[in-house]
Amino acid sequence: MPPAWKMTYNVQARGAHGPDASTRLRGTRSSDWFEIDCLPDDTSPVVAQLSVTTAQPYLVDAEPECLRKAIDLCHILTVANGNWVVFEPIPPPRVDELEGAKQPIGGTGIGLLASLTAISIHGIENDRYNLEAATRLQDDADLRADLDTWRLAMTEDDGPTRLIHYFRIYEREANAVMAAEPQLLTAEEIDAAVRATLNALPERLLPEQRDRVVMTVKSALARVRKRSRPEVLSERLTDLLSASRAEPVDITPQDISAMDQARGRYAHRSAERDAQPAPEAEQRLRESALALLRRALSIEATRTR
């Protein structure tokens, strides 16, 4: 199908306090369906123009598809940059009608926004910015959700809320790692423990109540692994973070416990939400979440080649 519409967005850098010109992108990237041209102006939070092309023949379908693709590309730029800002497309786009279009052009152009601040520049013409991974995000709802969560974290000024965002990304990996760890008890041993529990229950319990207790015990025992969660995850995060840095990193089981405790403190004890998280725990979670996202995007990019 021939290309039908091209949507061109301004890309804005945004931090916890609104539009932010402290980070710049430099260079250009393009493929058969997108093009990014970075803007040199260091006084504006608008850092680039992003054009996305679609074969959707009708504008009503082309607009949401192009916006979602533009958001996905900006998420990848955000994660690759790793700074305290997110990149986001600014609707409405400039809309160009192409060969395959089947309805009149819609939309209007937009101007640049003004701002001022010092800048740091990040070139996008390198392997870290695997922008072609965006073509796979529509088939990976979990990764797309994690990228949306990272954006929320980067624009969140409240420390406890930001920490919980990081933890959500980290927890998906943690659950997958623990699920792959060998169980401590065999199926036969679990059944024996359940029978012993059943025999020890008071006679006053109704049949459905006894069933609930049995299912709870069986489910809990099935989740117990040969190694503890802190032990397993400290090993995984040490490997992950060491691979993402020039120097080795040592994550201890105590570090994992501190991260879990920090999340529990803010998720379940609302009276403490005014207290700020320990910098070490938040930094570990932030580094872990960012490394996990970069690894996932690298894998996705490899699949598209």
For the cut 50, the answer to whether the pLDDT of residue 139 exceeds it is yes
Which pLDDT belongs to residue 301?
A: 46
**Which residue would you say has higher pLDDT here, 93 or 273?**
93
Read off the pLDDT band of 244 (50, 70, 90): confident
Which pLDDT belongs to residue 279?
A: 81
Read off the pLDDT band of 82 (50, 70, 90): confident
Per-residue pLDDT tens over the stretch 3-54: 899 999 999 999 999 999 888 899 999 998 999 999 988 889 999 999 999 9
Q: Are 137 and 147 in contact (CB under 8 A)?
A: yes
Q: Of 11, 256, 301, 305, which is closest to residue 128 (Cα–Cα)? A: 301
**Prediction pTM value:** 0.72
SS (H, E, C) the chain: CCCCEEEEEEEEEEECCEECCCEEEECEEECCCEEEEECCCCCCCEEEEEEEEECCCCHHHHHHHHHHHHHHHHHHHHHHHCCCCEEEEEEEEEEEECCCCCCCCCCCCCCCCCCCCCCEEEECCCCCCCHHHHHHHHHCHHHHHHHHHHHHHHCCCCHHHHHHHHHHHHHHHHHHHHHHCCECCCHHHHHHHHHHHHHHCCCCCCHHHHHHHHHHHHHHHHCCECCCHHHHHHHHHHHHHHHCCCCCCCCCHHHHHHHHHHHHHHHHCHHHCCCCCCHHHHHHHHHHHHHHHHHHHHHHHHHHC
Between CA 37 and CA 30 the distance in angstroms is: 9
Read off the pLDDT band of 1 (50, 70, 90): confident
Residues 6+ apart with CB under 8 A from 74: 11, 50, 86, 87, 88, 89
Read off the pLDDT band of 234 (50, 70, 90): very high
Q: Which amino acid is at 59?
A: L
Which pLDDT belongs to residue 117?
A: 38
Q: Of 129, 223, 221, which is closest to residue 177 (Cα–Cα)? A: 223
Per-residue pLDDT tens over the stretch 194-232: 999 999 999 999 999 999 999 999 999 999 999 999 999
Read off the pLDDT band of 270 (50, 70, 90): low
Which pLDDT belongs to residue 298?
A: 82
Mean pLDDT, residues 245-260: 88
Per-residue pLDDT tens over the stretch 154-203: 988 888 888 999 999 999 999 999 999 999 999 999 999 999 999 999 99
Which pLDDT belongs to residue 138?
A: 78
Which pLDDT belongs to residue 272?
A: 54
For the cut 90, the answer to whether the pLDDT of residue 100 exceeds it is no
Read off the pLDDT band of 299 (50, 70, 90): low
Average pLDDT, the chain: 85
